[in-house]
């Protein structure tokens, strides 16, 4: 016997709950709101095609009286199998980062009708700018670009420990990458993890998370490694990645595939931590690592703390309000501490280089 589909199972469950257990003669009409609540929030409905959910929500009540009879409901049993499923993979991917109690008709409809116009602007534009800057410096240096080098250390965008007074470098270093693998790794991860968040939480929320990771990543790395250059978008990438932790933490009971999401992030975190320890202390040649692992850690901390109060649940519980304030204050204190330490520990950092930035480019190519 062929196993019933998720759609058939949900329809049968609703029919059992509302008619067979309460009204075997099927004369009772139920409020449409109860069906909508089940569709939007019940775990059993998670595997239904998103388009079918929208169809049920919009058209279930044929006579528009706010009540649903058995015949109206069962009409969709036959139409469900005919429902187009071409967009289901896309919609399911986006819905996995959205708590059930936020899966409104409006958001489901937006995802179903989404045609990449307008696109998730922040992640797309950020990626395009990073690729554009990479191509520019690849041409400017007139060198064969290798997997993990070279980096244009003369660039006014890269974080230069001798030019910390040029404060924009604490942010713009994210546009510079050292080699094509450095760039590819960052843009692949930020697109995979950032697009889904941006589709359901908005560009400005994801933008704040990303930029917070970039800023705190550079502050943390500058203190941990005061004499090293810093390039790459890893701080922002890690921030977006670990924002998923904040999202899971606040919406655990409402999240779909929560254990899978948590497992993926934990595996990635443990792998990265293991590599960071080896790269810092266990390299067989005894050389010092050039990777800004503290920028990764700073981005992760920013992602969790900022994610908690940016990607917060619409139905905020009392303990979540306390957690919101703790995360908000903690991030502000950490950033403020980083700024103060960078501004006051002058002897800790290399002596400032006041050479004209154009001369720095000339020196690079002559040297």
CB–CB of 251/99 below 8 Å?
yes
Q: What pLDDT is attached to residue 76?
A: 57
Query: What residue spans of the chain are helical by DSSP H?
Result: 6-15, 32-41, 50-59, 70-80, 88-95, 105-113, 121-141, 169-172, 180-201, 203-224, 234-250, 258-281, 293-310, 318-344, 357-366
- Active-site residue, selected from the candidate residues 177, 201, 244, 296: 296
Q: How many percent of the chain have pLDDT more than 90?
A: 29
Cα gap 210→207, rounded to integer Å? 5
> Has this prediction a pTM greater than 0.75?
no
Residues in the chain, overall count: 367
Q: Which two tokens stand for residue 196?
A: 């889904």
CB–CB of 170/215 below 8 Å?
yes
Measured torsion, CA atoms of residues 235, 240, 246, 249, in degrees rounded to the nearest 10: -120
Give catalytic status of residue 234 as yes or no.
yes
What lies within 8 Å, CB to CB, of 113 at 6+ separation is none
The 10s digit of each residue's pLDDT in 125-151 is 999 999 999 999 999 988 766 777 788
**Taking the domains of the chain in order of start, what are their residue ranges?**
6-113, 121-366
Which stretch, 66-80, 116-130, 247-261, has highest mean pLDDT? Answer: 116-130
Q: What pLDDT is attached to residue 74?
A: 72
The 10s digit of each residue's pLDDT in 204-236 is 989 999 999 999 999 999 999 999 999 999 899
The 10s digit of each residue's pLDDT in 281-326 is 555 655 555 567 789 899 999 999 998 888 755 556 677 778 888 9
CATH architecture of the domain covering 6-113: Orthogonal Bundle (1.10)
- Active-site residue, selected from the candidate residues 234, 239, 244, 293: 234
Cα gap 115→137, rounded to integer Å? 33
The 10s digit of each residue's pLDDT in 145-186 is 677 778 899 999 999 999 999 999 999 999 999 888 889 988
The 10s digit of each residue's pLDDT in 74-83 is 765 555 545 5
CATH architecture of the domain covering 121-366: Up-down Bundle (1.20)
Give catalytic status of residue 42 as yes or no.
no
Q: What pLDDT is attached to residue 69?
A: 75
């Amino acid at each position: 016997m062929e196993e019933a589909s998720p759609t058939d199972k949900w329809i049968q469950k609703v029919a059992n709950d509302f008619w067979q257990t309460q009204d075997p003669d099927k004369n009772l009409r139920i409020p449409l709101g109860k069906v909508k609540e089940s569709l939007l929030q019940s775990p059993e409905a998670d595997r239904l095609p998103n388009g079918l959910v929208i169809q049920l929500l919009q058209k279930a009540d044929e006579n528009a009286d706010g009540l649903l009879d058995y015949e109206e409901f069962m009409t969709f049993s036959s139409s469900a199998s005919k429902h187009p499923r071409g967009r289901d993979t896309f919609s399911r991917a986006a819905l996995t980062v959205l708590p059930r109690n936020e899966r409104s008709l409006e958001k489901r409809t937006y995802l179903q009708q989404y045609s990449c116009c307008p696109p998730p602007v922040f992640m797309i534009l950020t990626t395009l700018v990073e690729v554009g800057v990479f191509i520019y410096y690849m041409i400017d240096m007139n060198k064969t670009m290798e997997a993990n080098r070279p980096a244009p250390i003369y660039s006014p965008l890269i974080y230069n420990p001798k030019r910390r007074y040029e404060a924009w470098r604490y942010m713009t270093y994210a546009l510079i990458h050292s080699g094509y693998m450095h760039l590819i790794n960052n843009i692949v991860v930020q697109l995979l993890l950032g697009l889904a968040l941006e589709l359901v939480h908005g560009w400005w929320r994801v933008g704040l998370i990303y930029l917070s990771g970039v800023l705190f990543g550079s502050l943390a790395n500058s203190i941990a490694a005061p004499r090293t250059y810093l390039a790459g978008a890893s701080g922002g990438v890690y921030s977006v990645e670990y924002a998923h932790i904040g999202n899971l933490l606040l919406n655990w009971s409402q999240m779909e595939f929560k254990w899978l999401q948590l497992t993926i992030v934990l595996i990635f975190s443990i792998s990265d931590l293991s590599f960071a320890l080896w790269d810092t202390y266990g390299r067989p040649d005894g050389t010092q690592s050039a990777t800004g692992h503290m920028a990764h850690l700073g981005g992760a901390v920013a992602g969790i703390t900022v994610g908690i109060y940016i990607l917060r649940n619409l139905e905020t519980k009392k303990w979540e309000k306390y957690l919101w304030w703790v995360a908000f204050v903690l991030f502000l204190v950490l950033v403020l501490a980083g700024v103060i330490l960078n501004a006051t520990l002058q002897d800790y950092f290399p002596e400032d280089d006041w050479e004209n930035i154009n001369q720095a480019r000339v020196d690079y190519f002559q040297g």
